[in-house]
Structure 1
Amino acid sequence: MEINELGQLAIELMDALKDKKLGEVEIKLGDARITVKAAKPAPVIASTQQAAASAAPAAQAVAAETAAPAEELPAGTPVEAPLVGVFYSSPAPDAPPFVLVGQKVKKGDTLFIIEAMKTMNEIKSPCDGTVVRILAQPGDMVEYHQTVVVIEE
């Protein structure tokens, strides 16, 4: 299986997790293994054949939707994930988070880290303001252009 196909399969699995409210899905194809975990604990799929079967309809359902209602966000500047990866709020598990809700930030301050392909990418504040909402938990998988933090200027 090509790396692009694996990436697409991982995206379909994330959509299936969200739609079916599952906790974790793991698929093994030869020497390749994909594990996708949800933020909140939920029932786990027992068989990889079930996972593959549920991923395809979920992907079709997402494609069939024309306009899903957007989550209500507070007023302010949304800070989006510039890449797909794992969200971390602090530089280390035992370190305090970079920012908390209600904290004032300056343009260029580090807000969070996204780990992609074993590389830690610091995401900086695009403006001065106050953090009014953090939409991800440490360890969450974030998608490209997903709003992660909202800053009120």
Structure 2
Amino acid sequence: MDIKEIQNLIKFVAKSGASEVKLEMDDIKITIRTGSDADVTYVSQAAPMQMAPAQQAAPAPAAAPVVSEAPAAPAPAASNDKYVTVKSPIIGTFYRKASPDKPAFVEVGDSIKEGDTLCIIEAMKLFNEIESEVSGTIVKVLIDDSSPVEFDQPLFLVDPS
């Protein structure tokens, strides 16, 4: 994540009215708190990212492989071109159930059709139902319940056949 992305995130959080946002990825942790006269942002990075600033020409290339490694988890899906990957349309917290005492919206092996609710993503106290854009069978759930998700992060693998 480069400085421009962090600055855009700070602006977005300030406009949203949220009092605190925590973002954790493999190599970086960001906490943005608002509500006082000045916004406070804490950024901490893992050791490999801290070595990159020593080389002034290499920060962007050093960040790019890390970003591409995070989505590399569903690499088996890439080798299985027959599967469709359902991705998160927003940043938030992923929930497989409407409430803790309810069953999951979908399980592996379930048949789904276009418009079926697959999960809920909570963003800024709003619960957004994520609907399927494809008909098929759920092959794999790629995210654990109550986990934070990024924009465009793979959530499910669906076999459209």
Q: TM-score, normalised by structure 1?
A: 0.65
| CA–CA distance in structure 1, aligned partners of residues 99 and 155 of structure 2 | 19
| Aligned-partner Cα distance in 2 for 1:111–1:97 | 9
**What is the alpha-carbon distance in structure 1 between the residues aligned to residue 8 and residue 64 of structure 2?**
28
* Secondary structure of 1:66's aligned partner: helix
Q: Distance in 1 between matches of 2:116 and 2:46?
A: 38
Give the secondary-structure state (helix, strand or coil) at the position aligned to 2:24.
Answer: helix
Counterpart of 2:103? 96
**Structure 1 pair 4–122 and aligned structure 2 pair: CA distance change class (3 A):** same
Deviation at 1:52, TM superposition (A): 4.1
- Which one of 11, 14, 21 corresponds to residue 24 of structure 2? 14
Q: Structure 2: how far apart are the matches of 1:31 and 1:56?
A: 31
Aligned equivalents of 2:139 and 2:24: distance in 1? Answer: 27
In 1: Cα distance, 2:33 partner to 2:133 partner = 41
Matches within 5 A, 1:4-153: 4-5=9-10, 7=13, 13-15=23-25, 18-19=26-27, 52-54=43-45, 58=49, 63=60, 64-67=62-65, 68-69=68-69, 70-71=72-73, 72-74=75-77, 75=80, 76-153=83-160
Which blocks of at least 5 consecutive residues in structure 2 are unaligned?
1-6, 14-19, 37-41, 53-58
Q: Deviations over 1:37-96 (max 9, x none)?
A: xxxxxxxxxxxxxx7444697488685243435232333111110000000001001110
Deviation at 1:138, TM superposition (A): 1.2
Structure 2: how far apart are the matches of 1:3 and 1:82?
A: 18
Identical columns (%): 34
**Length, aligned pairs only:** 127
Indicate the SS of the match to 2:64: coil
Q: Is the 8 A contact 2:117 2:130 kept in 1?
A: yes
Query: Aligned partner of 1:5: which letter?
Result: I
Q: 1:3 to 1:132 in 2, by over 3 A?
A: same
Bigger-Rg structure (1/2): 2
SS of 1:73's equivalent in the other structure is helix
**Could you say what secondary structure the match of 2:27 adopts?**
helix
Q: Specify whether residues 100 and 65 from structure 1 end up closer, same or farther in structure 2 by C-alpha distance, changes over 3 A only.
A: same
| Change beyond 3 A, Cα 1:19–1:3 | closer
Q: Give how far 1:5 is off.
A: 2.2
The aligned counterpart of 1:38 is none
What is the root-mean-square deviation of aligned Cα atoms in Å?
3.6
- Structure 2 length normalisation: TM-score? 0.63
